Chains A and B, each alone.
Chain A
């Protein structure tokens, strides 16, 4: 039993103090500054070493590889020579029909799935935040539970749940005259979208809900005194105030869509006829790599990383500009 206002005071907005640089008086000898930098780098070094070897180096290596090709001489690849290939791997990547098709497929899927998921997350967050909601804690937990499940295991589970012979859904649906096979080629994109929505709506809802709770009570009281309630309150006051959370969840979702791999890969393993082993761009590149085309695979990974960065950064910049003009 917690009223909205007590819930609000229970988790006060954590104000993050600005990072205060250590005050260094004007007369302080310069050596102190150098010592600070030295100790700081001591604390940073272990992370930095791993960060450089596990994240930066692979990217550099992939970029390097993407500009070379391996020539094999002799029937069984007896001698190999590596040659500079310029942009030919990139040209090949853009000429790779399957690769481009997988990008288009995932972008289209994301264009439908992301708005549906975030719309649902926003709606649920607003409902949970409203005065009429009961059992807030239980609902929050129920919505968030799928996030704790590994995507691969959730996909294994759904691959059974959506199979025509096993599904608890197809039976009742066919009773009311709707005959669907969720794992048929035309339904597979919907089914994959459903798996992602199922797994991530609660996560996004919680981010938006947390942001809703940081809205000062005075703002809501003032709005209520002006007679602004219900949907109008949500639309005119609450949603604009949680914009940063909406932007953040959108960026995370764009990144998530770009890296789609697990769900379709599991369905391929389960021999679902509607999913090709080249469904998503990452599946394409890993498959290409298995076939020995490491350089092409490297070029395709670079293209993918850049595309993701452009989309997520682009969205951030776009919303920032719009925010500045508004």
Chain B
């Protein structure tokens, strides 16, 4: 167990143990990286295989490369529904994340920069709702939407996606940290109305932090499965998650396995790109949420 020496100051450790600890520490980290990356590697390799060759050859290496044909099949399958699913996912995520970020910013700003009676109670109610997981709301929400005849419409997924109590919590922290009271006072003294003060002074100051809120909300909605699968019946309204699961379950009814596999690989690309390029903001969000 040479891992024991991880973190020992260099001047004390003899050279041998130091190397051993380096090997052990990075070995464990490397093993874990293999665990997280091999499934994704398999997915991308499989998506390139010619249909019929999925079950033959090495599962983790290329053979009979036929990616273009697979992609074509996915986009033309069942009348090209896959592009509709992608567009739906983009619509739900973009609109939902934009609206919820703006509303969270306004609410967080109000909770941080104005003092009024009941402020803490309002905040506590919002915070408590973070502790009840969203899926617990999904079923009651479905019952209510059914009562209002809103199920199986864009609204049934969009409206719930526009509320983010966790976003309000983050925005309150961000507003307190990045918007100085003096600046607001100055804007008011200069005769700016409350709305103008918010949109032209506070909002730009909060902007970097708001990217974080937007990102978390965007991915949350993009990844959601339970809510849209409960609310939507028509295939043409579904986001890509629900659609792909449906293709997977129709496996036995003649959907070739390469269709959901290639579809899954394709649907990950936009998110992976966004994710790798915006990494910094993820950490900000996690830290703000965790270390407070």
Set A154, A157, A198, A289: member contacting B35, Cβ < 8 A: A198
How many whole Å from B194's CB to the nearest CB in chain A? 5
Q: Which chain B positions have C-beta within 8 A of A141?
A: 276, 279
The 8 A CB mask of A190-213 against B (1 = contact, 0 = none) is 000000001001110011001100
Proximity string of chain A (306-318) to chain B, C-beta cutoff 8 Å, 1 when within and 0 when not: 0011001100000
Cα–Cα, bound, A59→B54 (Å)? 47
In the bound complex, residues from chain A placing their C-beta under 8 Å from that of B6 are 126-127, 130-132, 230-231, 234
Interfacial residues of chain B within 136-151, with CB under 8 A of chain A in the complex: 136-144, 147
Contact A39 B29 (CB under 8 A): no
Chain A's closest residue to B18 (CB) is A132
Which B residues are in CB contact (< 8 Å) with A109?
Answer: none
Q: Kindly supply a per-residue 1/0 record for chain B positions 33-67, scoring 1 wherever the CB is within 8 Å of any chain A CB and 0 otherwise.
A: 10111111011001000000011001110000000
CB of A16 closer than 8 Å to a CB of B = yes
A167 near B: Cβ within 8 Å?
A: yes
Residues of B within 8 A of A255 (CB): 131, 133
What chain B residues lie within 8 Å of A312 (beta carbons)? 131
Question: Is the beta-carbon distance between A50 and B139 smaller than 8 angstroms?
Answer: no
Most interface-central of A18, A148, A261, A305 (chain B CB within 10 A):
A148
For the complex, would chain A's binding face be called helix, strand, loop or mixed by DSSP majority? helix
Among A76-84, A86-94, A176-184, A244-252, which stretch is in contact with chain B? A244-252
B267 contacts which chain A residues (CB < 8 A)? 150, 153
Pair count A-B, CB < 8 A = 325
Report chain B residues within 8 Å CB of A308. 131-133, 136
Question: Does A159 lie at the interface of the complex (its beta carbon under 8 Å from any beta carbon of B)?
Answer: yes
Residue-wise interface mask of B (217-242) relative to A, using a CB-CB cutoff of 8 A (1 in contact, 0 not): 00100111110011000000000111
A167 to B: closest C-beta gap in Å: 7
A171 to B35, CA, bound (A): 17
Max chain B Cβ within 10 angstroms of own Cβ: one of A33, A166, A230: A230
Is B244's CB within 8 Å of the partner chain A? yes
A58 interface contact, C-beta 8 A: yes
| B26→A144 contact, CB < 8 A | no
Q: Can you add 10 more A-B contacts, CB < 8 Å, to A135-B29, A156-B260, A289-B142?
A: A24-B115, A44-B122, A142-B36, A149-B223, A150-B223, A153-B267, A156-B244, A211-B291, A259-B134, A298-B143
Interchain residue pairs with CB less than 8 A apart (7): A36-B116, A37-B117, A41-B116, A47-B168, A48-B107, A127-B25, A259-B226
